[in-house]
Structure 1
């Protein structure tokens, strides 16, 4: 078949086939007929889609009459594979069928009443282009997924090395958090470093989510304690929490001004990153858990080790691996 349009830009298909020329005792390829439907544009589209479906099922190649028609034919193949086509069954009922998304399509209806054998066939250029677009989309998703995994691995390695170094460098640890917002979760894609709230406050970090919303972060040194030996919150922790509360209050009362700088800064969550988990006892770990519950996750206090362990769990989840402790 050859895809073409008439003088009114209405789509049609030329049916080309072999005939036997008795005068020369030879086979000849000739134009047998063409589809010609006096109908609405929608009905004509259905006819073209139906004929393309038959060409797929019965292994009939479809070619363009000229290259300028490529986009039009691609549109019909998209419609065929995305939305299916109609057939009349043995009970004279119009039913909708859909080709399976494979390079050698089978076809079934919603109840699986109709099946076809997979046979090698010839693909039109537009059909190959359709499959190419699908394949590129799938590869793009795989590339994005692998990028997330690699980025998470790199962040984990650098944070782990920084925390376990004998000459621990706090500036280097903060740099790691700046470069790898994914350590806070896969929903974070960017860090805005040292963002000012008016002339009064400056946040260490503002984290941008995939959905365009933002959260704020106060970074304290990994060498600081979260609780005292007596089990009370340290002044460093209280100060950091107060910083977050001041920022959140300022954003709430100056929302329009705040969103001049960051458009989607609506009711952000606040993180405090401080200290190491090995400096906490079972009692103070429980106190920290309850403290986070009191703030109802409007403010969350996490240690550097919490970031590390959460990121490890996330990596294991994404890669399907079990942690070494399992």
Structure 2
């Protein structure tokens, strides 16, 4: 694909992303917001501002920025119903703080303060890990991304380092329970009681959530006392993901299953995190080649109207359908933004 064509693909993805139809705002739109804020022009950013204005206007009495209604997942998945609380709606917090820093609008910071309070009130495991949903004492790898960068960014914006410390603590607890010490890859979900893995595969997007959160934390707080430990953990997982990359450039939905289908969202999340890790001096610059191959092969999956296809839909893991999702759109844009120079995109 030529550089000019890839630039055209990015524009089509932006157009589709800002017009994607969802009945109500939810966590899936958060990464789409970040992608548009990274790559969009003034008109496209104005659409995201409208989404976030609506999220603030509908922030509920508990402080949650989205409607936070229970999600029902397909039969046979590791969860039948998930009743959201502070961690899920915290996914909106990171783009909300980006908009606050761009505009200086105090409403956005006030909304973030209410959201972070809701997050801090959430139930926890015995070692302080915040539950993924109200229905059980579980930690899911997705929530490392939804919670930790928001907590760290809120702490840096307000100067309250307790929130930065909480971000690193949540990352630590989730790694201890979810990352296999031999494979260096994260499992999907851990349940405290009984001590078990309701879904234990090494899911590509799950590992993508983990490494994307890590590079954002290190970008925000490179000098934190736990930053060296976090960087080492991130490099081990990123390197393990790279070893499972298919010759096409894709990652498989289940990383270590050669019969698992090739999947788009985990592939571009890997590309985004790899690019950031190279920029931060954490990994060999040669990993950029793997990141570029991932973005280029996924760009071939983009439809004429800009839909990034081939994404495993929630709750992810094995056996779920593939389709188009807001977070797939968002991470394609984030990966392209992080790889502008090697992809030949305008800066």
How would you bin the TM-score normalised by the shorter chain? Answer: under 0.3
Q: Name whichever structure is richer in helix by fraction.
A: 2
TM-score normalised by length of structure 2: 0.24
TM-score (norm 1): 0.25
Higher relative CO (CA 8 A, sep ≥ 6), structure 1 or 2? 2
Q: Which has the larger radius of gyration?
A: 1
